[in-house]
A and B are shown apart, each in its own frame.
Chain A
Amino acid sequence: MKVLVTGISGKVGQLVCHALLAGGHRVVGVDRRPWRGCPEGVVVHESDIRKRGAEDAFRLERPDAVIHMATVTHLTAQSEDRYRINLGGTKAVFDACQRYGVKQAIFVGRHTYYGAAADSPLYHTEDEPPLGLETFPELADLVAADLYAGTALWRFPEIDTAVLRVVYTLGPSRSGTLSSFLRGPRVPVILGYDPLFQFMHEGDLARAIVLALDTRLRGVFNVSGPQPLPLSVIIAQSGQEPLLVPEPLFRSLLGRFGLPRLPRGALNHIKYAVVIDGSSFREKTGFSHQYDEHATLEAFRRALAV
């Protein structure tokens, strides 16, 4: 199958590309960023997904399937065009899928869709609405993109669409939302809170995405790996040092003394857990993770130590 991957130059995008090639697929990429050292036979169209160049990729390559992972994270500093990339880009991708006869589309979204709040349950299932937007407006574009991608299921019934809500990834690449948070010299945590964080090895995620493709998955699915761990355990097993800060002080310290800069609403995400139930995806695709929580953290720790 010929598969077009948006966001291919990202670390997980690259892993998905390699996994697709290993599975006997042909791969085309679209990304604003160049991919140096991209494998032979893979063409990367350097373009913003909302621009003409991306549509040309669809027109020229006529992919059978699209894996859309060109979204920007919410847990780092404000980015001016994040809203437009996440939502406008998702619309552009699905429009192109319909126009150029793509048969299968996979939207790679995030488990933070469910939001973090004091009274939200552990192990969210796919039927739950997003919560916590009122305290974290920066999440709105990802939530909207997720729900918008889901509308393809009834708007374009001829396309097999899968919306994946995936947990944080960790691994040798040291990239991703959780990695950036853990990477600094000291990881700020809020005194008196130690929420569960759910993560999986980036290689496992790449395999899960290819499995979703190979099984022609249709619908909305949570994708998770091993059991979640408390933030304190993740920090310790990554070989990092926590910096315990009382909540009132926390806001004024962020972005200084080498601490990461976070939007205000992100505070709830380091006070309360977002944990999802990935059993339905496992049942449908037969997926099981190869890296447990320790192997994943060990891979991340070794990458950090280099």
Chain B
Amino acid sequence: MRLPTSPEVEARLARLELPFNQDGLDPYGIDRRRLGFMFTTFGLFYKHYFRCRAFGVENIPKRGRAMLVGNHSGGVAFDGMMVIASCFFECDPPRLAQGMVEKFLNRLPFASEWSSKTGQFTGLPEHAVRLLNEDRLLMVFPEGARGTAKLFVERYNLVRFGTGFMRLAMATKTPIVPFGFLGGGEAMPTVANLEKIGRMIGAPYIPVTPYLLPIPLPARMEVHYGEPIAPVGTGDEDDQAILEKVNAVKKSILQLIERGRKGYEAR
């Protein structure tokens, strides 16, 4: 089956610095043709549907390990998709941001196949360490599923951050690039989450919108990248020390959101 890929995506894929073999497969099973189709689709959403804008992409290192750390925005992972799209369409050379995905996704047919062939692996510390040591670009939402479950009125709040990402960044000497994401809550105004029904299909919940279906509205989206934070330490420090560093990252994400919000709401 030939999957359609736009010429622009094809040209950028050729400059993607991943160790593909002659069939376009990397050692993790990332499939270049799948990426082509994925970015063609993401490109339509990025440029036309959400009219997404990325600010501060120069903060993302051109090469080498880095961890994008930001807020969740919206009930379904459109925030992650648009961050991935921004790294591919705005960075030069293009980069593949690899998310750390919720465990349930790999259990579902098709989702399992697509996520593993596009480099979106289950969020395990083993995966994070290995990918960072191979100088890849990781995308982390420390709020986890708690973050996507935020309701419309809470859309610019941050819920509790996990601390694992900070320990991993310190242990692998990875710079953290904070980002604030805007517009996900507007695109998918969640008024309630159905947890029981979600669990029946293996997901944490199903978001409900005023128009019932979890389909995003064409709201504008923005992602604001901040200056990289170099982690100091080994990652073996006690919880209190780690928590302080996590809070510093959280604070810079909040600042990015607040600063971005003024412009976003004026536009």
Contact = CB atoms under 8 A, between A and B. Distances in A.
Interface of A: 118-119, 121-123, 190-196, 227-230, 233, 246-247, 271-273, 293-294
Contacts of A122: 28-29, 121, 127, 130
A230 B106 contact: no
Which of B22, B26, B113 has the most CB atoms of chain A within a 10 A radius of its CB? Answer: B113
Given A118-B122, A122-B28, A192 B109 contact: yes
A230 B114 CA distance: 12
A161 B117 CA distance: 38
Contact of A293 (B21, B31, B107, B110): B21
Contact of A121 (B27, B117, B124): B124
Given A191-B109, A192-B108, A194-B116, 8 more contacts: A119-B124, A121-B130, A122-B28, A192-B110, A192-B111, A195-B116, A196-B116, A271-B112
A194 B29 CA distance: 10
A230 B117 contact: yes
Main secondary structure of the interface of A (DSSP, over half): loop
Contacts of A246: 109
Identify which of A118, A191, A229 gathers the most chain B CB atoms within 10 Å of its CB: A118
Contacts of B124: 119, 121
A228 B27 contact: yes
A228 B117 CA distance: 13
B90 to A, nearest CB: 28
Nearest to A128: B126
Given A121-B126, A273-B29, A192 B21 contact: no
Given A119-B122, A119-B124, A193-B112, A228 B29 contact: yes
Interface in B108-161: 108-113, 116-117, 121-122, 124, 126-127, 130
B21 A227 contact: yes
B103 interface: yes
Interface string B28-55: 1101000000000000000000000000
B25 A119 contact: no
Nearest to A232: B113
8 closest Cβ contacts across the A-B interface? A192-B109, A121-B126, A192-B110, A118-B106, A227-B27, A196-B29, A118-B107, A194-B113
Q: Which of A122, A123, A227, A293 has the most CB of B within 10 A?
A: A122
A119 B108 CA distance: 12
- Report the contact-size class of chain B (Cβ under 8 Å from the partner): 20 to 34
Contacts of A227: 21, 25-27
B23 interface: yes
Nearest to B103: A119
27 contacts: A118-B103, A118-B112, A118-B122, A119-B103, A119-B106, A121-B122, A121-B124, A121-B126, A122-B28, A122-B29, A122-B121, A123-B130, A190-B109, A192-B111, A193-B112, A193-B113, A194-B117, A196-B28, A196-B29, A227-B21, A227-B25, A227-B26, A228-B27, A228-B29, A229-B29, A230-B117, A272-B112
Nearest to B126: A121
Contacts of A233: 23, 25
Contacts of B111: 192
Contacts of A194: 113, 116-117
Nearest to A125: B126
A282 to B, nearest CB: 14
Residue of A191, A194, A293 most packed against chain B (CB within 10 A): A194
Contacts of B112: 118, 192-193, 271-272
Given A118-B112, A191-B109, A230 B29 contact: yes
Nearest to B107: A118
A177 B108 CA distance: 26
Contacts of B109: 190-193, 246-247
